[in-house]
């Protein structure tokens, strides 16, 4: 599985690159905002983006911001023409559906993807929340689709009556079998400690609010990635999955088990993928046991 870092923070990108495991970068308007805010005015955005592109020899996603297809196509062309010459690695992010209110057009994203893919501009279709959206993005010619698995977990938890912060902090793993169990049994009881970091919910969750029709039975963010993978396999689409909105190392592992081609992961979660108490303990005992004769050989 390729690992992208999901950030616009140049220091994080440089550090992840120095580890030798980085394959690309994804940004979005919120990540750019946060990089600019944390630099406290000490940043020229155009230069900053060029630096990101030069730091990584892999795809870097930059997002369009308009909501109509023509506007997105124009912005995509501007981004591509301005930045792709820097290191030949720009991918333009286009939302699958830019509708914000009922009555807005639902197909502007997919129309833009179709035109851009015909023009040869690589597209990462973002904000994918259900498998049918991924299917349509692939049909329109997207090179990548980005299912937002953490946000789907949030959404399902909220639908079953959990409030972020009160019942679960950002960074807890949501096990899909829990949705299944709630659905099957209409369960009303306390479940906790399903995993190291899971305190899942406190009392009386109900599935009444959960819109099974629109979500087509998707049980978790990981389940969403799995379903998209199956669909792409059935029709041999070349479109790659970038599992996105990842909040835990366990989600990253699940994506690898499913066979997502890419996971875009926040910097601190990539760090979490590496450490283990027993590795550190093992290191300490090996370090303590180095005898002088062995040291001499190594220092020759």
Which sequence positions are flagged as catalytic? 93
Distance, first Cα to last Cα, the chain: 39
Burial 62-91 (b: 16+ CB within 10 A, else e): bbbebbebeebbebbbebbeebbeebebbb
Q: How far is the CB of 189 from ligand G3P (least distance, A)?
A: 29
Give the Cα separation of 255 and 20 in Å (integer): 20
Taking the least distance from each CB to ligand G3P, the nearer of 115 and 198 is: 198
Taking the least distance from each CB to ligand G3P, the nearer of 6 and 143 is: 6
Q: How far is the CB of 157 from ligand G3P (least distance, A)?
A: 13
Q: How far is the CB of 159 from ligand G3P (least distance, A)?
A: 16
Decide: 128 and 225 in contact? Cβ < 8 Å: no
Taking the least distance from each CB to ligand G3P, the nearer of 95 and 115 is: 95
Element housing 160 (H / E): none
Q: How far is the CB of 83 from ligand G3P (least distance, A)?
A: 19
CA–CA distance from 274 to each of 80, 248, 249 (Å)? 34, 12, 9
Give the Cα separation of 40 and 52 in Å (integer): 18
The DSSP output letter for 20 is T
Cβ neighbours for 194, distance < 8 A, ≥ 6 positions apart: 175, 178, 200
Q: How far is the CB of 173 from ligand G3P (least distance, A)?
A: 14
Using CB under 6 A, list all residues that contact ligand G3P.
6, 26, 28, 31, 148, 150-151, 244-245, 247, 264
Cβ neighbours for 58, distance < 8 A, ≥ 6 positions apart: 2, 4, 22, 23, 24, 25, 89
Coil, strand or helix at 145: strand
Tokens of 268: 């601190």
Taking the least distance from each CB to ligand G3P, the nearer of 148 and 226 is: 148
Taking the least distance from each CB to ligand G3P, the nearer of 29 and 186 is: 29
């Amino acid at each position: 599985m390729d690992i992208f870092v999901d950030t616009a923070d140049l220091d994080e990108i440089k550090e992840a690159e120095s580890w030798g495991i980085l394959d690309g970068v994804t940004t979005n308007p919120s990540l750019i905002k946060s990089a600019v805010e944390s630099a406290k005015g000490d940043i020229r955005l155009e230069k900053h983006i060029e630096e990101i592109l030069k730091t990584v020899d892999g795809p870097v996603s930059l997002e369009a911001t308009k909501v109509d297809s023509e506007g997105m196509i124009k912005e995509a062309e501007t981004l591509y023409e301005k930045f792709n010459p820097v290191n030949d690695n720009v991918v333009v992010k286009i939302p699958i559906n830019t509708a914000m209110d009922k009555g807005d057009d639902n197909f502007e994203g997919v129309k833009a993807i179709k035109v851009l893919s015909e023009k040869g501009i690589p597209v990462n279709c973002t904000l994918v929340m259900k498998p049918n959206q991924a299917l349509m993005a692939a049909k329109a010619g997207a090179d990548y689709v980005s299912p937002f698995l953490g946000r789907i977990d949030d959404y399902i938890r909220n639908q079953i009556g959990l409030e972020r912060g009160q019942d679960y902090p950002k960074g807890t793993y949501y096990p899909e079998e829990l949705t299944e169990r709630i659905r099957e049994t209409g369960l009303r009881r306390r479940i906790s400690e399903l995993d190291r970091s899971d305190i899942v919910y406190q009392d009386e969750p109900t599935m009444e609010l959960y819109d099974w029709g629109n979500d087509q039975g998707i049980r978790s963010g990981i389940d969403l990635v799995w379903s998209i993978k199956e669909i792409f396999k059935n029709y041999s689409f070349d479109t790659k999955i970038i599992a996105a909105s990842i909040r835990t190392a366990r989600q990253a592992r699940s994506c690898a088990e499913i066979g997502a081609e890419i996971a875009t992961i926040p910097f601190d979660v990539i760090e979490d993928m590496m450490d283990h108490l027993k590795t550190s303990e093992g290191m300490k005992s090996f370090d303590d046991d180095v005898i002088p004769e062995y040291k001499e050989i190594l220092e020759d």
